């Protein structure tokens, strides 16, 4: 019990400091990028093809071919917010993907649906994968949606992902998941 008390004081201090940290909002970045980045005007067939290409590329995540495939999927200048990170240049995005590619395996991405409005494709997807953390593989899974705009070469120039990292990732992580469950318990009514 005394060990728990000794650990709880430093833990509360760390949580207090984390709670005071100011984190910038990506809402204004999204609004500006959505207004300023114009993609190709789409129809349903094109939206479905964008979703199919997206899913096919991410199904190679964790393999040697992923980096080549994802390099072809994205344009050099872009806006991408994947809920955990934001990028404006492909070079930084590629570094991010190289790191992910080393920690992920057994990827299964499925296209649930795709639709469009003007120059935006809305791709609804399901993703499951094994994520290596602390030397162990942990299976993660999540549903999400990506708003995607492409250039005439069919490369992604705008992508805003919508998914819940709390339930799709953080709650599954060792130690972190316990803290999330304690601070933000998931409630489900029957």
Q: What does the pLDDT look like over 93-105, one tens digit per residue? A: 999 999 999 999 9
| Fold for the domain defined by 27-171 | Nuclear Transport Factor 2; Chain: A, (3.10.450)
Predicted pLDDT of residue 176: 52
Q: What does the pLDDT look like over 35-50, one tens digit per residue? A: 999 999 999 999 999 9
Percent of the chain whose pLDDT exceeds 70: 73
Q: CA dist 143 to 1, 57, 112, 165, Å?
A: 41, 17, 9, 10
Mean pLDDT calculated for residue range 26-30: 83
Q: What does the pLDDT look like over 106-150, one tens digit per residue? A: 999 999 999 999 999 999 999 999 988 777 788 888 899 999 999
Cα gap 131→82, rounded to integer Å:
17
Domain borders along the chain are 27-171
Predicted pLDDT of residue 185: 56
pTM of the entire structure?
A: 0.77
DSSP letter, residue 107? E
Predicted pLDDT of residue 180: 47
Mean pLDDT calculated for residue range 169-186: 53
- With a cut of 80, say whether residue 77 has pLDDT above it: yes
DSSP letter, residue 171? G
Cα Rg of the chain, angstroms: 19
E strands, 56-176, are: 74-81, 86-89, 104-117, 120-133, 136-150, 156-163
> Which residues are bridge partners to 80 per DSSP?
87, 159
Mean pLDDT calculated for residue range 2-8: 54
């Amino acid at each position: 019990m005394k060990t728990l008390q000794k650990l709880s004081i430093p833990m509360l201090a760390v949580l207090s400091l984390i709670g005071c940290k100011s984190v910038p909002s990506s809402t204004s970045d999204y609004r500006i990028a959505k207004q300023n980045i114009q993609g190709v005007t789409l129809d349903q067939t094109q939206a479905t093809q964008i979703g199919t290409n997206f899913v096919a590329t991410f199904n190679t995540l964790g393999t040697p071919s992923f980096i080549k495939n994802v390099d072809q999927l994205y344009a050099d200048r872009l806006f991408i917010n994947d809920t955990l990170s934001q990028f404006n240049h492909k070079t930084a995005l590629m570094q991010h993907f190289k790191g992910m590619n080393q920690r992920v395996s057994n990827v299964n991405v499925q296209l649930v649906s795709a639709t469009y409005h003007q120059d935006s494709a809305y791709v609804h997807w399901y993703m499951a994968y094994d994520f290596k953390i602390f030397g162990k593989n942990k299976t993660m899974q999540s549903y999400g949606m990506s708003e995607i705009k492409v250039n005439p070469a069919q490369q992604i120039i705008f992508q805003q992902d919508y998914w819940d990292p709390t339930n799709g990732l953080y709650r599954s992580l060792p130690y972190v998941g316990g803290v999330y469950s304690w601070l933000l318990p998931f409630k489900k009514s029957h």
